[in-house]
Chains A and B, each alone.
Chain A
Amino acid sequence: MSTAIPSRSVNSIAIAGARKGTRRDSLTRASFVLPAVLIILLLSIFPLLISLFVSVTRLQFVPGGFELLFVGFNNYYKLLFGIDQGRFLGKFGTPDALGWLVLGVIALGLVYWVGRAVRRGRVTVVGLVGRIVLAVFLMSIALLTVSTMSAGGRPGTLWVTLFYVYVGISIQYLLGLGLAYLCAQHIPGRRFFRVIFLLPMMITPVGVAYMFRMVVDTNKGPFYPVWAALGMENVSWVSNPWSARAAILVSDIWQWTPFMFIVLLAALESLPVEPLEAAVVDGATRWQIFRHITLPALLPVSTTLILIRMVEAFKIIDLPNIMTAGGPGTATESMTLEGFYIWRALDIGGSAAIAYLLLFIVTLLATAYANLVRNQVAVQY
């Protein structure tokens, strides 16, 4: 006996089976993803939300334990406008004519930049809002920089952090690129140098901080004979605001240049040789090859590298804490170090507020950087 099955029914069964399979697949996929999602929720999102709550509270001890008293945005207000403003934002001086000129140029540049995006009409509403927020933020930073650098002014922890991040990363990138370029050449002992250049990155930041504390101590320690021979035994690097910042910057550069070096070296060694050979055949100089072939080819890696370092560098704490304790005064104090000192005195609400401001700044700058620079580079190359 044979049974003819209508084609419609076959299709229905097949579709139903496919649906069942899809559902099963979905469940399977979800069950695989779920643990990771739960872990992220537990370890990242939950603390993030809790610390947001903590940033609008004040801890106080009560019989048997503690309570978190809701204080609204008071912790943020203290940092931006209240008694902690001098430490966080710095002391504002009065800009001179040059300062106002610089501010005017920056303001015009930012207006032009936003206006150009609108004129081109390629920007979405979200993109436009993002550009305006970024422009306002950058203008605020410019204003902060000019006014705190003016006569009677003094930079706060926010500016000092930005100084460590951007000056430090720029130098690290240039040095890392230079060293990588050298080690990519067929020079004797290049394998040895690769290992040597990597060593600083292997040392814990606290170790680096103690080491550099000894190095910059001109009055005692292993480097004393060197400083004494140079007649600098009574010079203190860490008692002057700018030399103290420089000492910390040098330590940070020493530690993190290897990170730039190793990634850029890998990128350099993986570049295709054909364009280089073609350029050589066409008679290009070494500089022309580097400028027009090597550097553009490195840009995608470089932008990602800078993004990673930028996010990491904002969290600098070990070096200023060990080397100078944020001193002299507050000259070398980073935002994280300020937060740490306040947290140590159990003002966890104030400390969480600093952490959230840092999170806002890092997110804003990293998102803007990723959208405006990295994506552009990725499209171009």
Chain B
Amino acid sequence: MKQKIALGILGVLTLMLVLIVACGTPATPPPPVVQTVVVPQTVVQAVKETVAVPQTVVAQQTVVVQQTVVAQPTAAPLQFAGQTINIVTFTGPQIAEPLQRRAPDFEKLTGAKVNVITVPFSDLYQKVLTDASTGTNSYDAWVFDPQWMGDFVTAGFVEDLTDKVKSDQALQWNDIAPFFRDFSATYQGKVYTIPFDGDFHMLYYRTDVLGDGGDKPPETWDEYLALAKKYNGKDLNGDGKADYGSCLFKKKAAQSYWTITDIAASMIQSQGTVQGTFFNTENMQPLVNNDAFKRALEIYNETGKYGPADELNLDVGDTRGLFTAGRCALGIDWGDIGSLAIDPATSKVQDKVGATILPGSKQVLDWATGKLVPCDDKTCPHAINGVNHAPFAAFGGWSGGVNKNSKVKDATYAFLSYMSQPAHANVDVTIGKTGFNPYRSSQFLNREEWVKAGMSPKAATDYLGAIEASLNSPNMALDLRIPQNQYYQQVVLDQALAQYLAGEITAEQAMKQIEEGWNAKTDELGRDKQLAAYKATLGVTK
């Protein structure tokens, strides 16, 4: 009987598949570039390999190396001949490099010329918004931060790509990890951007150093501090110089404000992604004046004792340089360290870098009282080993959006799609200088590319496993995406943080300053409006 039911279900499914293939393909109008696309076929070949891992870190384990063969999309020849696409992004080499490298290939394929215009990252936000809001429209597309979508969508500057991405077979929209598809690319239920990059913070550690010391990667921030203290001042790269226990980017007006959220989120957000970590979803009151945020500030400040003397003046480029030079035992970064560490030209820590989910906390915030309470089944339903983790999707990943007023929208969309298609993206994410981090399921499965790029199967498993663990966390913390988030984070939060780390103000003063600054901006822009926008971003989860 059961066999009959199973056969029946199988038959129905087969019939549906046949119908979809038979009816769907000719009926759907082909997207511009991929007119004669061969339906991508993913063939997964499993190759088993046994890798010896230092006993002190993890027991000997079996690593599965999987290969994914993805069909190359075929473009309509010279469909956009004579058209010019102007794309703006930030000054490279990261992000701009793959766009510039692939532009000539795209031109050969479609005839469209692609100009990649670069501006400093710090100017990008105001540059693109000023261009669009004044009607200048110098750019057909922006490769930018999806955090800014609140400003772009509200003003109607960015093209709705919902229908396009869903009918674009070469793009393989469903291959993009749900978080980036549904959060980074989507705003209030509509798709506005095509992801090129998967961004969130992870913990990086030196496998050889921790292994030799008989330590496991830290699971909590307290363990992070203890390990940083233990390894600080030791020679970690054999050059005879004392190195650092922890390297964090703390420079003002750079990336520092993301790191404080790494720490604070693990104590503030414990009930899942929809809870949010920046504001109370009842009244838009900032969650920055409480015991959890104070403890986060203290932890962040204490890491400075185990870092470089000029850590307050280091941005992410500086800390990456230090980490790949073998000078740091622990660090926090986006996915870039993984691919930079395997670059033989610059890295002294090839195959010595491990990655794992951000540390968490055994105490979380009671939102009603503003006090820290111990983790239990009720307070930390998503805890792992009694530790609440809230991996922070800092930035959200570089994405491409089409200017609604562009005169070459189809060609522009085709180029963005071309960049994100697995045939190209799956190679680009393995190259450190692209600045692109994995964001597609096939990039996690297709570890062959990573091994080809120089990562050992063990390191590939470790690195991609950390990404998957973060992406699969039901308590992932979303970055702030409300209108004028730049002011909330880059002006108010960043300044208070810089002043606190420099000793200009106390933790209490910093918290009060952030709370007042955020409340003032919220009241200025309309509390109800901002609350609605905040809740809308949180409502979209995996």
Contact = CB atoms under 8 A, between A and B. Distances in A.
Q: Do A and B form a real pair?
A: yes
Interface of A: 58, 60-66, 82-83, 86-87, 154, 217-219, 234-239, 241, 324-331, 341-347
Contacts of B513: 83, 86
Nearest to B242: A234
Contacts of A154: 504
Interface string B85-129: 000000000000000000000000000000000000011011001
B486 A325 contact: no
Given A58-B524, A65-B135, A239-B312, 8 more contacts: A61-B155, A63-B154, A65-B133, A66-B133, A218-B310, A219-B309, A239-B310, A347-B491
B9 interface: no
Nearest to B318: A220
B313 A239 contact: yes
A330 B156 contact: no
By DSSP majority rule, is chain A's interface helix, strand, loop, or mixed? Answer: loop
Contacts of A65: 133-135, 155
A218 B129 contact: no
Contact of A61 (B135, B308, B483): B483
Contacts, number: 122
**Contact-residue bracket for chain B:** 35 or more
B389 interface: no
A83 B504 contact: no
B38 interface: no
B271 interface: no
B312 A327 contact: yes
Closest 5 CB pairs of A and B: A329-B502, A328-B502, A236-B310, A329-B504, A61-B155
Nearest to A239: B312
A344 B310 contact: no
B362 interface: no
Interface stretch (B48-56, B248-256, B394-402): B248-256
Given A219-B308, A238-B312, A345-B487, A330 B495 contact: yes
Contacts of B487: 345-347
Contact of B252 (A234, A325, A342, A345): A325
B498 to A, nearest CB: 5
Contacts of B500: 329
A65 B504 CA distance: 40
Given A218-B309, A331-B502, A346 B252 contact: no
Nearest to A234: B309
A219 to B, nearest CB: 6
B309 A239 contact: yes
A330 B498 contact: yes
B520 interface: yes
Nearest to B517: A83
Contacts of B130: 346
Interface string B285-322: 00000000000000000000000111111000000000
Contacts of A217: 310
A86 B487 CA distance: 17
A223 to B, nearest CB: 13
Contacts of A234: 309
B486 A344 contact: yes
A58 B125 CA distance: 17
Most A CB atoms within 10 A — which of B122, B130, B253, B484? B253
B504 A331 contact: yes
Contacts of A330: 495, 498-499, 504
A145 B123 CA distance: 33
23 contacts: A61-B155, A62-B155, A63-B155, A65-B133, A66-B133, A87-B495, A219-B310, A241-B502, A325-B313, A328-B252, A328-B498, A328-B502, A329-B252, A329-B500, A329-B504, A329-B505, A330-B495, A344-B125, A345-B490, A345-B491, A346-B486, A347-B487, A347-B491
Contacts of A62: 154-155
